[in-house]
């Protein structure tokens, strides 16, 4: 199959990153659609919550399984399968006659999302030069913030003109374009293994078990998974409730959407900078600790309310922007660490799957804790207690991760 000249001009690693962004668009497409789905499909409050958290729920259940599968099936093939699922489920969702059907298809989207994002770091590692790896991993770390922000910004425009069903079709079309790009630009593996005999199938199963055991008995994947969980727990707790907080401050619905989308989008800058800083000699400890410290202090400035005294709104919003922007240093660094702290080259996707599983757990649990606390104290003024606690744990984990990297380097890691 010949490759068009325009496709040759594209970097395969860039295509992988854009495939991740296309998957994250499906995460950001939901929040602006909830009011319309409530009116047109009778979506209940409980169903709205399920719609919002379905991707995280899928990640909590299947992250490690998908990581194991990606290492076994092949990274490119796994990503193509995920993009296909997201294309078909989103387009069919636009035709859904009721909320239950839409929820089922949303679950399929969640599986597709995992199949796209879990193999990506390992795939990038295969197709870029070692000198470019840190920068490319920093670029990969932008996929969630950039994709979800695009969804938050584009969703109201498309739905305002053509309705929510067209928005679902549009998101599915983006996944199809990403599928075409990956199929055309990302190189196939150098060799295709022959069909396996029954005894080879048993050996493959044993290989899955071996990768699982090696991953879960190595400290590095656990440290990175917990670090990801306390990052996403903070980020989703703040970003997820910003519309509610701003609405309670008498800010219009349209302006609330713009302000929230911008906070999500600036996370991109930290993700991008993480790769550049790592290339310039910053350690993983420095980038992650900086991110966690600024997140902790930013949340204090944004939510602190002592006896009715708080910062002016503009200053509080600036604190949230810093919270998200500098916090973006963390995921880019963790993805760069994943290819170094995985037990071996054939467990990179398994390690990332484990990280995704704990990332989803943080996104699921963090907002619940913040919501419970807000209900208990009658407001959002103590949100910073939860986020600052997570940030403190994250900073301590950054120290442990740095020590693990140094030990791996001394032991002549597989990637050297």
pLDDT at 55: 74
Q: How far apart are CA 51 and CA 49, in angstroms?
A: 5
Q: Is residue 412 assigned to a domain? A: no
pTM score, whole prediction: 0.73
Q: Is residue 128 assigned to a domain? A: yes
Residue in the structure block whose two tokens are 């103590």: 382
Contact (CB, 8 A) for 283 and 398: no
Q: Is residue 191 assigned to a domain? A: no
Q: Is residue 416 assigned to a domain? A: no
Closest by Cα among 320, 321, 312 to 249: 312
pLDDT at 247: 67
Q: How far apart are CA 349 and CA 342, in angstroms?
A: 9
Helix (H) / strand (E) element for 350: namely helix 348-377
pLDDT at 356: 80
Q: Is residue 171 assigned to a domain? A: yes
Q: Is residue 359 assigned to a domain? A: yes
In a 3-state reduction of DSSP, which class is residue 309?
A: strand
Between the two ends of the chain, the Cα-to-Cα distance in Å is: 34
Q: Is residue 190 assigned to a domain? A: no
Residue in the structure block whose two tokens are 């503009």: 314
Q: How far apart are CA 335 and CA 141, in angstroms?
A: 7
Contact (CB, 8 A) for 236 and 363: yes
In terms of residue numbers, what domain contains 127? 5-185+197-406
Residues 225, 226, 229: CA angle, nearest 5 degrees: 90
What is the CATH number for 281? Answer: 1.20.1250.20
Q: Is residue 384 assigned to a domain? A: yes
Contacts of 54 (CB under 8 A, 6+ apart): 103, 106, 107, 109, 110
Contacts of 200 (CB under 8 A, 6+ apart): none
pLDDT at 386: 93
- Weakly modelled stretches of the chain, pLDDT under 50: 1-8, 192-206, 413-416
User: How many structural domains compose the chain?
Assistant: 1
Q: Per-residue pLDDT tens for 208-259?
A: 778 888 888 899 999 999 999 999 989 888 877 776 677 667 777 667 778 8
């Amino acid at each position: 199959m010949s490759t068009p000249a325009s496709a040759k001009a594209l970097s395969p690693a860039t295509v992988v990153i854009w495939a991740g962004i296309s998957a994250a668009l499906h995460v950001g497409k939901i929040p602006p659609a909830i009011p319309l789905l409530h009116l047109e499909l009778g979506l209940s409050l409980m169903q709205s919550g399920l719609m919002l958290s379905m991707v995280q729920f899928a990640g909590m259940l299947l992250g490690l399984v998908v990581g194991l599968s990606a290492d076994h099936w092949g990274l490119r093939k796994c990503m193509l399968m995920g993009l296909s699922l997201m294309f078909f489920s989103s387009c069919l969702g636009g035709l859904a006659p009721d909320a239950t059907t839409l929820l089922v298809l949303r679950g399929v989207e969640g599986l597709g999302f995992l199949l796209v994002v879990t193999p990506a770091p390992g795939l990038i590692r295969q197709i870029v030069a070692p000198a470019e790896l840190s920068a490319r991993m920093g670029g990969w770390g932008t996929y969630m913030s950039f994709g979800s922000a695009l969804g938050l910004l584009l969703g109201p425009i498309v739905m305002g003109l053509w309705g929510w069903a067209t928005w679902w079709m549009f998101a599915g079309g983006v996944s199809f374009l990403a599928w075409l790009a990956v199929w055309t630009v990302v190189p196939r593996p150098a060799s295709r293994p022959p069909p396996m005999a029954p005894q080879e199938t048993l050996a493959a199963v044993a290989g899955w078990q071996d990768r699982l055991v090696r991953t879960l008995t190595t400290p590095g994947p656990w440290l990175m998974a917990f670090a990801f969980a306390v990052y996403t727990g903070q980020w989703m707790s703040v970003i997820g409730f910003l519309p509610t907080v701003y609405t309670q401050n008498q800010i219009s619905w349209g302006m609330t959407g713009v302000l929230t989308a911008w906070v999500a989008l600036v996370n991109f800058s930290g993700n991008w900078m993480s790769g550049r800083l790592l290339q310039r000699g910053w350690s993983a400890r420095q980038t992650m600790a900086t991110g966690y410290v600024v997140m902790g202090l930013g949340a204090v400035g944004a939510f602190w309310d002592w006896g009715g005294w708080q910062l002016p709104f503009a200053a509080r919003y600036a604190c949230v922007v810093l919270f998200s922007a500098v916090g973006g240093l963390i995921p880019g660094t963790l993805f760069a660490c994943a290819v170094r702290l995985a037990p071996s080259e054939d467990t990179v996707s398994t390690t990332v799957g484990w990280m995704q599983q704990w990332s989803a757990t943080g996104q699921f649990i963090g907002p619940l804790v913040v919501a419970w606390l807000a209900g208990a104290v009658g407001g959002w003024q103590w949100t910073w207690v939860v986020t600052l606690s997570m940030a403190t744990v994250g900073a301590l984990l950054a120290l442990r991760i740095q020590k693990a990297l140094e030990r791996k380097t001394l032991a002549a890691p597989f990637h050297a």
